[in-house]
Amino acid sequence: MKRIIYTVNLNKGKCIILTMLILILVIPIFVALFANGKKEGSIERSQSYNLSPNSIKFSNIKVKDDKVKIFLVKENKIIEMSLEEYLPGVVSSEMPANFDIEALKAQAVAARTYALAHLRSIGGVGCSKNSNADLCDTVHCQVFQDKESRTSLWPAAKKEEYWNKVVNAVKATEGEVITYNGELVMNPQYFSTSGGKTEDAQTVFGFSAPYLKSVDSPGEEIATKYKETYEFSYSNLANTINKNYSNAKVTATNLHKQLEILEKSEAGTVTKLRIGESVIAGTEFRFMLGLNSANFTISYNDKGVKIQCIGYGHGVGMSQWGANVMAQKGYKYRQILTHYYQGTKIEKIEK
């Protein structure tokens, strides 16, 4: 392309004025550009799940940053340990130790990624239950138990075998995390059991993440909590609904007409439910009644209301039982992780 050159002859005074005008116009633009470059994105927090709103460049994570501060909720105190020391207590608490070793490895990588996403020393969100902690030891973050507490719940003959198996899964994946486009995955969600398909984060949490899309997860019918049936009397359910939603105005005699599923996702989660004069999300209904999942159907009989749930947990990210099914079919942990977290890579933190 031909360049057009303009020549302007100005005396010294005019040059000074022009220079000042240029500075007045250009400086605010540069300030705005640099300010915007530091602006962080945001993700709405859920009342039920601890989500990470920041972004962390994978290249900025070093092993020296891996001290984790854990808030022990029942004891109301904070303990500190290295990330790798912390992980066996999480993996053993979050996934059955009799699962395939490849599933346990996948769980270790997901748990490590989740922990780093909450590590305040590298820009993580921390734990909202205690501002001085990175994580707590409950389902609010990740369940954590020390070796003595966890092994006390296992059969005596299996204690050492199970614990060593978990430790080996952590060691085999040491330093490995899930990344997406050069950044640490900030929300590596996982849950127990799907109904054959995982959920999109948008459906459950109200935010979109490219690596938290719905994927197939077959073969989970063998899971211990794949299907659960709940029964409520008409009067008890009506009272519970009215107590939590005063605008619903349901009655025991008309509940079969006032309770209606309006919309479901492709994976089966109830997204809209009419209760009398109110419309709520299926996740709200789930928590109100203590259901295993928001994937449910409603039926009626002479005795009351029957609600049948499929799956266990929020349904987003990696299904733990699905991971075990994949492992038993011969898939390795990296294949399991990149299936459930679409478009991601498994990378190792630099020492």
Q: Give the pLDDT band (50/70/90) at residue 52.
A: low
Residue 350 has a pLDDT of 77
Residue 346 has a pLDDT of 96
Question: When comparing pLDDT for 228 and 66, which is higher?
Answer: 228
Q: Give the pLDDT band (50/70/90) at residue 12.
A: very low
69 and 141: one domain? yes
| Residue 220 Cα distances to 28, 62, 194, 227, angstroms | 58, 37, 7, 10
Residue 235 has a pLDDT of 97
Residue 55 has a pLDDT of 67
275 and 341: one domain? no
Is the per-residue pLDDT at 194 higher than 50? yes
305 and 334: one domain? no
CB atoms within 10 A of CB 219: 15
37 falls within a domain: no
Is the per-residue pLDDT at 35 higher than 50? no
Give the chain's mean pLDDT. 86
Phi and psi torsions of 349, nearest 5°: -65, 140
Is the per-residue pLDDT at 9 higher than 50? no
124 and 161: one domain? yes
Residue 7 has a pLDDT of 32
pLDDT digits (tens, 9 = 90+) for 87-134: 999 999 999 999 999 999 999 999 999 999 999 888 888 999 999 999
Phi and psi torsions of 79, nearest 5°: -120, 160
68 and 138: one domain? yes
250 and 287: one domain? yes
Please, what is the angle between helix 320-328 and helix 101-117, to 10°? 140
pLDDT digits (tens, 9 = 90+) for 222-281: 999 999 999 999 999 999 999 999 999 999 999 999 999 999 999 999 999 999 999 999
Residue 101 has a pLDDT of 99
69 and 186: one domain? yes
242 and 282: one domain? yes
63 and 120: one domain? yes
Is the per-residue pLDDT at 26 higher than 60? no
Question: When comparing pLDDT for 298 and 55, which is higher?
Answer: 298
Is the per-residue pLDDT at 21 higher than 60? no
259 and 341: one domain? no
Is the per-residue pLDDT at 158 higher than 90? yes
Range of the domain at 118: 58-190+330-348
Residue 121 has a pLDDT of 86
How many folded domains does the chain comprise?
A: 2
Q: Distance (Å, rounded) from C-alpha 180 to C-alpha 209? A: 10
295 and 238: one domain? yes
213 falls within a domain: no
12 falls within a domain: no
Q: Distance (Å, rounded) from C-alpha 234 to C-alpha 51? A: 36
